[in-house]
Chain A
Amino acid sequence: MTSPAGGARCLPTYAVLDTSKSMSRFQQLLNDTLENVYDGLWAKPAVSEFAHLSIISFNTDAHVILPMSDIGKIDSLPMLACGGSTNYGKAFRLIATQIDKDVTALRAQGRKVLRPAVFFITDGAPQDAGVWESEFAKLTAPDWPRHPHVITFGFGDANEAVLRRISTKSAFKAEPGVSQQDALVKVLVTLLNTLINSANSQNLALPTDIEGFRPIPIEFVD
């Protein structure tokens, strides 16, 4: 679809998944749920055209699982495996690198690129204190024109204070009574619904309420 200015809008979206050891017991569920999200996007051309998706997993290191793609043109998703520690810093650094590459590529295709959206999904606290803070600062530096919106979803042992600190838009933590399985599924369904709503409005349209989660107030300094 072409906008009057000549290029279609595109929302680069990064699903950043914690695949550390604590997620091992949910590995199959994580893969199955991702597959369902993929099915949902693959079937909706208006959504996959607007919201291009990249999947990044992180544990001791960070990997690009799915490069930035129009999901409607992808035949399959790779499998995720869990293990290792929870190093947020590696993830933040890789996201920044990918954003630079992906935004450049999308613009070269004539797309009008919106500010990227990072959906950061974790079940634990960072284990690389002293590193992740500076990497996050670089990723979200206001003087970097491509700095993304960061939306965080935490469950299990995720640290609420950290979630609040690494969110620029919204932060959600699973309610204590909600099982980790249900929380994981809910988060990924929320990601799918967010992309559907965003495609309808052609802008990032975030949920305000997620069943089983409570929003964490974010502090803004200016």
Chain B
Amino acid sequence: MTAWSDQPFPRIVDYPAVRRREREISPGAGESQVIYEIQGCSGWLAKIYKPGMAPDDDDLDRLISLPGRLSQDERDLVDASTSWPVARIVDAGRTVGVVLPLAPSGYSGHLSRNGKKIATTEIFAVDMLCQSEQWQTSRGLRVPSSAGRRAIGLLIARIGALFEDAGIVYGDWSYRNALWNPSSDGIYIIDMDSCRFGSRPWVESTGWEDPQVPSGPMDNTTDRYRVGLLVARVLTGERSLVELPMALSRLEPGDPAAAVLVAMTNSQRPKQTRPAIRKLVAALTGDRADSAEAPSKPAVKSGTRPDAKSRPTASPPTAPTTATSATSPTTATSATAPTTSGPHVTNWRPVNRPRERGSPPGTSSNRPPPVTPVPPITPVPPVPPTTVTSPGRTSRATPTPPNVPGQPARPTIRPTARPTGQASSRLPQPPPPPINLGGAVAAAFGLLLIVGFAVALIATLLM
């Protein structure tokens, strides 16, 4: 495993030293022109930017050096769970790229269908975690337990809190930027080099839009929203914004994480009052005192650390202690296997194999069994009935007679039914703001006073 603490590069590297490619990982997307593994530096990637798309030098240098000022625990987290940039690549005095650690092997591997391994290597993203049990089992993935989901959610929250404490705005929290190791339930955050300090330009991420920041610069309040959304989806497996509040209400009764997550993702709540990510960490670790949902502190100002926690300022990089990732025999990446690393498919050839007949569609629901709703910490209104649904099912293929020579060829198998999926046309229902217990006590006290006053008044009138 490669990580920030064991990187062999100086903070600034000349492009010719890392120009030679061992293998291409991605032909590029967004601001990157290409991402490749550096020849002779196994496990280290060079990400080369498109012309004019490189981040600011000072921002990059500050980000690259930051782990050196963190505590050992935080640096362990950086090493195990982030592709933190380790060096800036310079060509003729101009920044052209960064060096990044490659995700450990447990974060990619092969899925299977009907018990047979699929040849193409897939990146395991949180996208696959936020799926139904049926989806996961049909692809040979281990189904995470509730405790496992909570551990993953906590890990994401810890990384988010580390960023927030350091004044980093990541901005692009989403399924595809958080990788998941199905064997160890580890999490690995990629695209770290595009984050900024204090604020960053708006980044489009469909399905993760902060309703209060439809465009313009983003600060850590948007990170609070997106981290909350990601953790909520991880904990519940629910992808739909509409269904999410109800799914959160089904967590353990009295779970403080549910209230914090509702407050973080409440589209009606002023963004400045969203709970800090550190509160989510406390809630997920069961620290009710620290996680009690109350008006939160204003968002962190640009580039400042809000906490007064002392940290070593010049501790030398040390080797990582433990990693949350692990390589499973069933998910190990083959060096020669075709890959879909990043958004593209490269070095890919079709695999000749016998065609299989489809298995009968699953009969079980693709959602966990219904749980009797329990009163949530924060009341969530009942969701109105679905207005448009269609049962999810799989397509079957039916054989047709063989082609007659000289006649137009017909497909040998034709599907007879069209698959449909669950759909909903409801509009999102914003969850209500959480109950303020202090306010409730005050209201009850006031009511008591009024009743007392009324009784006294009636008694006076009767006398």
Contact = CB atoms under 8 A, between A and B. Distances in A.
Interface of A: 1-4, 6-9, 19, 21, 28-29, 31-33, 35-36, 39-40, 42-46, 57, 59-61, 63-70, 72-85, 105, 108-111, 185, 189, 192-193, 196-197, 200-202
Contacts of B412: 78-81
A214 to B, nearest CB: 18
B350 A67 contact: no
28 contacts: A1-B207, A1-B240, A2-B207, A3-B207, A6-B425, A9-B206, A39-B113, A39-B118, A43-B120, A45-B127, A46-B127, A46-B175, A64-B414, A65-B415, A67-B395, A69-B395, A70-B419, A73-B393, A75-B394, A77-B355, A78-B414, A79-B411, A81-B409, A81-B412, A83-B407, A105-B418, A185-B348, A193-B344
Interface string B198-224: 000000101101010000000000000
Contacts of B356: 76
B164 to A, nearest CB: 25
Size category, B interface: 35 or more
B350 A29 contact: yes
Contacts, number: 184
A126 to B, nearest CB: 15
Interface string B402-423: 0100011111111101111101
Contacts of B128: 45
Q: Among the interface residues B392, B410, B413, which one has the most CB atoms of the partner chain A within 10 A?
A: B410
B461 interface: no
Interface string B359-391: 101000000000000000000000000001010
B345 A40 contact: yes
B221 to A, nearest CB: 18
A45 B127 CA distance: 7
A85 B408 CA distance: 7
Interface in B34-62: none
The interface centre, meaning the residue of B353, B358, B412, B419 with most chain A CB atoms within 10 A of its CB, is B419
Contacts of A39: 113, 118-120
Contact of B418 (A35, A68, A82, A111): A68
Contacts of A43: 111, 118, 120, 122, 139, 340
Contacts of A105: 418, 420
A157 to B, nearest CB: 18
B350 A185 contact: yes
A84 B411 contact: no
A69 B345 CA distance: 22
A42 B415 contact: no
Contact of B242 (A2, A40, A61, A193): A2
B411 A57 contact: yes
Given A79-B355, A109-B390, A19 B419 contact: no
Given A57-B411, A83-B409, A40 B388 contact: no
Residue in B176, B240, B393, B420 with the greatest tally of chain A CB atoms within 10 Å: B420
Contacts of A21: 409
B352 interface: yes
A211 B73 CA distance: 47
A3 B423 contact: no
A90 to B, nearest CB: 9
B266 to A, nearest CB: 15
B345 A193 contact: yes
A202 to B, nearest CB: 4
A6 B425 CA distance: 6
A65 B207 CA distance: 31
Contacts of B394: 73-75
A189 B408 contact: no
B420 A109 contact: yes
Given A46-B176, A76-B397, A111-B423, A83 B355 contact: no
B185 to A, nearest CB: 19
Contacts of B242: 2
Contacts of B119: 36, 39
A44 B408 CA distance: 35
B367 to A, nearest CB: 14
Contact of B355 (A35, A66, A110, A200): A35
B21 interface: no
B411 A78 contact: yes
B349 interface: yes
B358 A80 contact: no
A49 to B, nearest CB: 8
Contact of B411 (A3, A6, A72, A80): A80
B163 interface: no
A202 B206 contact: yes
Contacts of B358: 74-76
B11 interface: no
